[in-house]
């Protein structure tokens, strides 16, 4: 069963688990389980995607329950009035704040018979440092290894935008198989029981397309994330943010 964060007659928000595709795709031709299908079966009605999350990314994912509502929500995306916030654990110590305006070409489709290189598109992301940790272990070329917990706030919606922007800043996300650093990812997988991409869409702000009321959806952290937060002792530094993202076995459900 998918974790439903919000449901009414017009839209539904879920907490997508890591490792699940939103819909059928050439990314993984052998995959047989998709959010779109699972949610349709769970609700007993058709659902309409209005945005995406990468397969390894977890967090808030919104669907409309009719094509008309999907169109209205899509207008909000185009007008850039929907606010998305992500948590990421990255290599190194990030600056306190980074505003990155760095255009990117769409990733090349490796499945295309004749791949096309498209021109760069505007891509803007704000990053805020939340916490840091230094591990007394030599993974790369230094005797200690440093990591940061950051909040990413994309202002545009390019494919892999946050992952590529953090790579550009030389602070790749841990366990990012495409843009990350293999040595650090393997250490987290083998020694910290964290083998998933450490990127989580923790909160989404939007306007209800019918009532025009503000909506805020918050997705709890999964157990992999929460175990790292505890191990790195970040919960004391971030009480308000983490109180809203505790796994469900650590708090009671609160309504949106």
- Annotated active-site residue 176? The verdict is no
- Alpha-carbon span 124 to 29, nearest angstrom: 31
Number of residues written out for the chain: 256
- From the list 54, 75, 109, 126, the catalytic residue is 54
Collapsing DSSP to helix, strand or coil, 224 comes out as: helix
Distances (CA, A) of 104 to 62, 77, 111, 122: 25, 19, 20, 7
Largest Cα–Cα distance of the chain, in whole Å?
57
Helix boundaries (H) for the chain: 35-43, 67-78, 161-168, 182-191, 223-231, 239-243
Beta bridge partners of 4: 14
Buried b (16+ CB within 10 A) or exposed e, 145-155: bebbbbbbbbb
Active-site annotation, residues = 54
């Amino acid at each position: 069963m998918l974790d439903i964060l919000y449901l009414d007659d017009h839209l539904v928000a879920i907490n997508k688990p890591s490792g699940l595709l939103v819909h059928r795709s050439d990314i993984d031709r052998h995959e047989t389980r998709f959010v779109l299908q699972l949610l349709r079966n769970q609700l007993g009605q058709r659902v309409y995607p209005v945005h995406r999350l990468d397969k390894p990314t977890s967090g808030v994912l919104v669907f409309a329950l009719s094509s008309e509502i999907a169109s209205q929500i899509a207008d909000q995306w185009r007008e850039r009035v929907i606010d998305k916030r992500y948590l990421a654990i990255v290599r190194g110590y990030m600056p306190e704040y980074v505003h990155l305006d760095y255009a990117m070409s769409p990733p090349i489709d490796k499945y295309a018979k004749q791949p096309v290189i498209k021109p760069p598109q505007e891509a803007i992301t704000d990053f805020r440092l939340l916490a840091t940790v230094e591990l007394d272990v030599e993974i790369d070329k230094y005797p200690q290894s440093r990591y940061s917990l950051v909040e990413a706030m994309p202002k545009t919606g390019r494919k892999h935008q946050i992952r590529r922007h953090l790579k550009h800043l030389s602070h790749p996300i841990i366990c990012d198989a495409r843009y990350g650093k293999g040595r650090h990812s393997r250490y987290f997988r083998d020694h910290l029981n964290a083998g998933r991409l450490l990127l989580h869409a923790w909160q989404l702000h939007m306007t209800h397309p019918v009532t025009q009321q503000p909506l805020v959806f918050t997705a709890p952290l999964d157990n992999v994330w929460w175990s790292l937060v505890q191990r790195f002792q970040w919960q004391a530094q971030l009480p308000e943010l983490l109180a809203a993202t505790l796994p469900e076995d650590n708090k009671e459900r609160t309504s949106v």
